[in-house]
Amino acid sequence: MDILRRGVLTFGLIAALGFGPQLVLAEPASIIVASTTSTEQSGLFKHILPLFKDKTGIEVKVVALGTGQALDVARRGDADVVLVHDRPAEEKFLAEGFAKARHDVMYNDFVLIGPKDDPAGVKGLDVLEAFRKLAAAEAPFVSRGDRSGTHNAELRLWKNADVDLAAVRGEWYRDVGQGMGPALNTASASNAYLLADRGTWLSSKNRGDLTILVEGDKRLFNQYGVMLVNPEKHPTVKVKEGQAFVDWLISKDGQDAIAAYKIGGEQLFFPNAAN
């Protein structure tokens, strides 16, 4: 047996006994982003995250929840970044010290969806008058009921329409406690009205007999913001990688990637980080 072969066998024996050097493969850099069901279910993340990974090598794992729940995940230190769409809730998160800065990323809008025959007669109305008519008619209405940005926007619309939801809600108002996709499925199955973000509506394959009845009202504007979780609150936050994601989203590359995402030729989100 030659010297080289004896050496290889000896090294193999030592390694097998656990005394030799171990080959350790480093895990790829990754972060957790707590975000909304609208960004996930619209397909936006499937479009932009591979581009970010190609650019940085950082893998993004998304926890998709309603905005309120996503912010709670970040409050517990279980996320590095939050990307959500409820400005009052985001400002509260900032005021509590769970982030040091917030950046506009993109916007789209909410739309009031309902049956094509529109039994409540809301088509083309301004959104507040439409909500008043829905309550007066006790028209079947599906609410997400999950503390999401969409749910909170819906509650503000009832309030601004001077509808005391607690007083008037009955069997006509169905609170599903789920994300935008399941809420749309429920509305489709029951031929009900609901408030949806346009992105998830456009990506929905299960529209049934529903259509957009109210859109374009300035009160339906839907802004998204991104924040790095404050490492002073949670030292486990991956600051370098998380900040890289925030910076990419608001950079030209990230903004161009958002603008390029379309379904059926229609753009779902409109970048506005420059604002």
- Mention every residue, 6+ apart, whose C-beta is less than 8 A from residue 24: none
Indicate whether 194 and 98 sit together in one domain. Answer: no
Q: Clarify whether residues 157 and 66 are in a common domain.
A: no
The answer to whether position 228 is within a domain reads yes
23 part of a folded domain? no
Q: Could you give the number of structural domains in the chain? A: 2
pLDDT at 205: 84
Give the domain range for residue 186. Answer: 110-220
Q: What integer pLDDT is reported at residue 131 of this predicted model?
A: 98
Q: What is the pLDDT of residue 191?
A: 96
Q: How would you classify the pairing of strands 30-36 and 59-65? A: parallel
Does residue 18 lie in a domain region?
no
**Helix H or strand E encompassing 180:** helix 180-190
- 24 within domain boundaries: no
State pLDDT tens for residues 121-178: 999 999 999 999 999 999 999 999 998 999 999 999 999 999 999 999 999 999 999 9
Identify the segments of the chain with pLDDT beneath 70: 1-27
Inside any domain, residue 92: yes
Boundary of a domain, candidates 220, 241, 256: 220
CATH number (domain holding residue 85): 3.40.190.10
Closest CA to 33 of 226, 271, 269, 259: 226
